[in-house]
Amino acid sequence: MPIAGENGAPLPGLDLRHARDGLSTAEVRERTDAGRINSAPTATSRSVAEIVRTNVFTLFNGVVGGCFVLLLVLGEWRDALFGLSAVSNSLIGIIQEYRAKRSLDRLAILQAATNTVIRNGARETIPAGELVPGDLVVLTAGDQVTADLVLLGEGPLEVDESLLTGESEPVPKPGGSVLLSGSLILADSGRATVLRVGPDTFAYRLAADARRFSLVTSEIRRGLEKVFAVITWLLLPTALLLTNAQMQNQGGWAGALESGRWIPATVGAIAGIMAMIPLGLLLMTSVAFAVGGLRLAGQKVLIQELAAVEVLARVDVLCLDKTGTLSDGSVVFDAVHDVGSVPASGWRPALEWFGANADASSTAAAIGAAFPVAVPLQEQGAVPFSSARKWSSVTFGPESGASGTWILGAPDTVLGFPGCANAQGMAAALASTGLRTLALAHLAARLPSDAARTGLPPELVPVMLLTFRESIRPDAARTLDYFRQQGVTVKIISGDDPRTVAALARRVGFGAGVAYDARHLPGQPHQLEETVEAQSLFGSVTPSQKRDLVRALRRRGHTVAMTGDGVNDVLALKEADLGIAMDTASPATKAVARLVLLDGRFERLPAVVGEGRRAISNIERVSLVFLSKTVYATVLSVVTGILLLAFPFLPRQLSALDGLTIGLPSFFLALQPGGQRYAPGFLRRSLAFAVPAGFCAAVCVLAVSAYAQSSGDHSLDASQSAATLTLGLVAAWILVMASRPLTGPKFAILAGMYTGLVLLFSLPLTQDFFRVGWPPADLLAFTVGVAIAGCAAIEVIGRFTGRPPHGAGRGETGLGPLTLEPASREADGGNAGHRDGPAST
């Protein structure tokens, strides 16, 4: 006989012949051998080998590695220092992705659990992973459902599905209902047969979507990828041009190969190729993110992917789950509403008894907290709460001062009699505000012995209505106000009843809005986008609808952050630009989130915003320097390649300049404070300065090299030294422009850089190692004059393109511990609330 499912629909393929004795050993073995067990592979889409291969075997690493090995073979190890940067970049990428893989591999919606089953007519306890379809499972209060089950018709169960659906109210499940894996049995007991196991279960399908590997959407990462794509196209033809030019300068290909002069020609070509690749920019970006992660770790915020500290600085829509995010998931007593005439001394002892005898119900526990009592009255009889009856009762004797029977339960059950019309109206009005409502009624006599089966008698007298509300996190309202002041749109997306969502929203400062019932969401994508854009509160939202709402917002061009703590939030967290999990979140939720608030303090989020602003502002500064270097290196390589000129530097000389004018200063710049609201257009702003500044630096170097070679009185070493000094001075001024406005720490960084340049050309050890020295007097004078002119031109370029970069100005003094005070309109340039406002200058 087939089992009837929910709504009376039959569930095909299920048979009740095992409803008493369960499966036999032979049947279990047959299904186990066929692989139909309650386990599934947990590997992510990327293995360790794939992670290593992706981060090591790239075009740039191939070029850098080949040049590095070639220089070592040629014995020019001092020119191979650039290899360290490539190794660092690969290691950082591998470690970052491996950590993400481990989190995804640990993703678990179902905790390790055992199940009581009936097999061969006897009860036995087995691991959840050994369940097979058709197994007869015994369920009691406190059990977790570990496979999709069908409840047999022995009686209803009270089930908590909040982990899966977000609905905080317990759900009564009558016989024939499907119990989804991941739910929890709160009350009553019963038997169920296994419907689906392993990959076919609801919980696993959620986890499978969540396990898909993806990196957080980072504008910085996207911008750098575009730059590297352009460099990739330029690299090979430029390398061929440059190699040919260096060979021609050594007597042509045949002469260079015969005389051995191909070695310095090769070194010169490698110098130009390596200068084009901004390897250090990736490293400095990772350092800036890592430092932000360490700072936030000290504030109990776990960063699971480094670039996540940038994303929240760009977020313009923050989507919040209600339970566990704005509320802490607990229920607190709200008020008592008098609807009857029973003396006050009667109902209080009754409530004290119900609170002192709290079972698995969080509502009963809230009554106990509101009406505490050391020793409750001794009852003469009681009927425990049942989700099927929706009420419980207690009977006291005449000597108690609260004689008679007191019934506490759902208003539609307790007040479902003609004489309770007034109380029914009050209960409906209270429930419409989103408050959880219970009714307390009195019966002068004892309940009939069969009342639990036949129902309550009509002589009940309504006494009180009790209302309850969810406990709001104390920092929720202030934190939401901060985001609204910052121009971030806040949306509450919950699986709870829309009335409950609206009531909570009013308590956290959302006004008197009405929550949209997600059961009426349009299916057409364009209409869905319009709906989610127009509404701020959503109730009765399913896990897949949460994901669809986030997708719709992203299609509208928004950068979306999503917070949550239940498995019902997993798909939305995965889809959002930034997923944020609370400390109470399920393991699955924490695994896919990019940020985890370890102490559950919602007020930590503004500090994350501050770190994101600092990171993206300083990376933009650093990018000016690195991209300028890429531009002038490319221009020098192309010009020398076309004109068949000798490349003006050795690789080691460029490595020295990189360290003094780019690497070390950029490292310290990446750690500086910064705090203005982010404006989109990172790459556009950076290139607007870097391209003309890089051209200017290249022109200065070419002018000095041409002068040195045309005079005929200067050696190759003197010409290279003059070119190195010219580039050092001009590149230093690019760094000055990127550092503005100057503060004490920045001034110290720049002073150290100029001191290093002087020591590079003055100390015998560095002169010998890097093959540099002070040029002759006439060449030195010309070099300094050209460098001054180049610095003046870069100053003009900086002012014309709006430097200093985004993040400078007021806010530059440092955020320190970020408070919940809104940013001033002056600091925001008067553009609060406008995501596409102009960059601050």
Q: Would you name the residues annotated as active-site residues?
A: 321
- Only one residue has tokens 């050890």, namely 765
Q: What is the Cα gyration radius of the chain?
A: 35
For residue 355, what are the CA distances in angstroms to 147, 374, 375, 384, 465?
34, 11, 11, 13, 15
Residue 743 exposed, middle or buried by CB count within 10 Å (0-12, 13-18, 19+)? middle
Residue 524 exposed, middle or buried by CB count within 10 Å (0-12, 13-18, 19+)? exposed
Contact indicator for 349, 400 with CB cutoff of 8 Å? yes
For residue 245, what are the CA distances in angstroms to 149, 269, 407?
75, 8, 97
Q: Specify which residues 23 forms β-bridges with.
A: 119
Which stretch of DSSP H or E encloses residue 319? strand 317-320
Provide the H-helix boundaries in 45-131.
48-56, 59-73, 83-105
Q: What are phi and psi of 562, to 5 degrees?
A: -130, 130
Distance of CA 804 to the CA centre of its chain: 30
Query: Strand pairing of 489-493 and 516-517?
Result: unpaired
Contact indicator for 22, 117 with CB cutoff of 8 Å? yes
Which stretch of DSSP H or E encloses residue 438? strand 436-443
Cα separation, 80 vs 68, whole angstroms: 5
Cα separation, 460 vs 716, whole angstroms: 108
Cα separation, 149 vs 137, whole angstroms: 8
Contact indicator for 797, 692 with CB cutoff of 8 Å? yes
Nearest to 409 by CA among 454, 448, 442, 375: 442
Contact indicator for 465, 427 with CB cutoff of 8 Å? yes
Query: Strand pairing of 578-581 and 560-564?
Result: parallel
Q: Which tokens sit at 659? A: 């360290």
Helix then strand then coil, % of the chain, to nearest 5: 50, 15, 35
Contact indicator for 229, 594 with CB cutoff of 8 Å? no
Cα separation, 627 vs 396, whole angstroms: 83
Residue 460 exposed, middle or buried by CB count within 10 Å (0-12, 13-18, 19+)? buried
Q: What is the DSSP letter of 804?
A: S
Phi-psi region of 663 (alpha: psi -120 to 50; beta: other; left: phi over 0): alpha
Cα separation, 300 vs 499, whole angstroms: 34
- Only one residue has tokens 């009740």, namely 16
